[in-house]
């Protein structure tokens, strides 16, 4: 657990060998928890570190899900057992995905099965079921622009920062000139604590993601805190934004040569993975999220053509128009 500013704590856990950093903001009028980790993380590290910081889950006012990923919403039910009086909220567009594993699978993790035959294996699904937590109703939603008061001189602005998800939220802390951005931007990917590449960027909507990068670049902040990256200070904030944009631009540069001949989305992930990052090659298929966004965007622009390779099983492929 680190205290970044007075009353601003970064609770530290782990997911798949990567840091998992949960923000806990403790004001003199209200307190807030940003994300709940995986299913057992509230008991495992969130609540113990809250108490280490001098906080009490029984007085928590807000639990805010930044976006629907298992390591950000899986602990919702368990956290509500520790803090039943708290209000559980998320981005309005993400409500259906934040209320349990069924919604996560339907709207996020299993959406590439029907057209691309890309889905998680049985062992991974079993892990998801173990860590997804019990269903938990969302009690409020935000669209961005709302203000949450934590103290007489401490107010947060809820920002809409889509791209990784449609309803992704971040918290702009005006008092401390900081943004608590969760997974709003990804740089060149996700890293282990030892600085080794572990996972590729996983944004979904390219134009929204680029707009979010631009928004963060123009905020009057000196500190950026994400959930899986070291805290960025001063010029590091702009560098992280630039790194995030450069990854998007690199994908767009590589697509034309890659799609001179028809490729399925799976083939595209496996062929571009080595050129895009040094994460373990078994992770290349996780590019399905970002590359699915890129090819969908290019189809909409008329730059590539989508066609059916096979009907049973159904597999789509892409080629330059």
Q: What is the 3-state secondary structure (H, E, C) of 201-250?
A: CCCCCHHHHHHHHHHHHHCCCCEEEECCCCCEECHHHHHHHHHHHHHHHH
CA distances from 134 to 1, 74, 98, 187 (A): 26, 8, 11, 32
Averaged over 256-284, what is the pLDDT? 96
- The reported pTM is 0.95
CB proximity list for 274: less than 8 A, separation 6 or greater: 281, 284
CA atoms within 13 A on the CB side of 180: 27
Of 36, 44, 131, give the one whose Cα is nearest residue 90.
36
Residues pairing with 263 in the sheet: 318
168 touches 183 (CB < 8 A): yes
Task: Determine phi and psi for 72, rounding to 5 degrees.
Answer: -120, -25
pLDDT of residue 70: 97
Average pLDDT over residues 64-91: 98
Over residues 32-46, mean pLDDT: 98
Tens-digit pLDDT profile for residues 186-235: 999 999 988 899 999 999 999 999 999 999 999 999 999 999 999 999 99
Residues 93, 173: Cα–Cα separation, whole Å: 23
Q: What domains appear along the chain, each with residue ranges and CATH number?
A: 2-244 (3.60.15.10), 258-320 (1.10.10)
The whole-number average pLDDT for the span 68-84 is 98
Look at residue 79 in the predicted model and tell me its pLDDT: 98
Is-contact 212 268, C-beta < 8 A?
no
Q: Kindly state the helix (H) or strand (E) to which residue 181 belongs, with its residue range.
A: strand 178-182
What pLDDT shows up at residue 146? 98
Other C-beta atoms within 10 Å of 147: how many? 10
Report yes or no: 192 and 78 within 8 Å, Cβ to Cβ. no
């Amino acid at each position: 657990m680190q205290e970044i500013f007075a009353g601003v704590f970064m609770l530290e856990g782990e997911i798949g060998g990567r840091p998992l950093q949960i923000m806990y903001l403790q004001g003199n009028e209200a307190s807030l928890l940003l994300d709940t980790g995986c299913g057992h993380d509230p008991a495992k590290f969130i609540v113990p570190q809250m108490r280490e910081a001098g906080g009490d889950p029984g007085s928590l006012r807000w639990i805010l899900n930044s976006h629907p990923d298992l390591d950000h919403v899986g602990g919702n039910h368990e956290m509500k057992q520790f803090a039943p009086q708290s209000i559980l909220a998320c981005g309005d567009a993400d409500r259906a995905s934040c209320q349990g594993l069924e919604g996560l699978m339907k709207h996020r993790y299993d959406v590439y099965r029907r057209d691309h035959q890309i889905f998680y294996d049985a062992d991974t699904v079993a892990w998801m079921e173990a860590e997804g937590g019990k269903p938990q109703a969302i009690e409020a939603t935000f669209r961005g622009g709302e203000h949450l008061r934590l103290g007489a001189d401490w107010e947060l602005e809820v920002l809409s920062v889509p791209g990784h998800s449609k309803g992704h939220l971040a918290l702009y802390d005006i008092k401390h000139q900081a943004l608590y951005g969760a997974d709003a931007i990804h740089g060149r990917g996700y890293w282990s604590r030892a600085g080794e590449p572990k996972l590729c960027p996983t944004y979904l909507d390219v134009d929204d993601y680029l707009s979010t990068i631009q928004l963060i670049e123009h905020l009057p902040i000196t500190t950026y805190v994400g959930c899986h990256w070291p805290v960025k200070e001063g010029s590091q904030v702009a560098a992280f934004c630039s790194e995030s944009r450069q990854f998007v631009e690199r994908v767009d540069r590589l697509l034309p040569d890659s799609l001179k001949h028809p490729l399925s989305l799976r083939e595209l992930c496996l062929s571009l993975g080595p050129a895009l990052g040094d994460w373990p090659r078994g992770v290349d298929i996780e590019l399905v999220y970002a590359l699915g966004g890129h090819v969908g965007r290019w189809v909409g622009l008329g730059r590539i053509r989508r066609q059916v390779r096979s009907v049973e099983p159904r597999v789509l492929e892409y080629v330059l128009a």
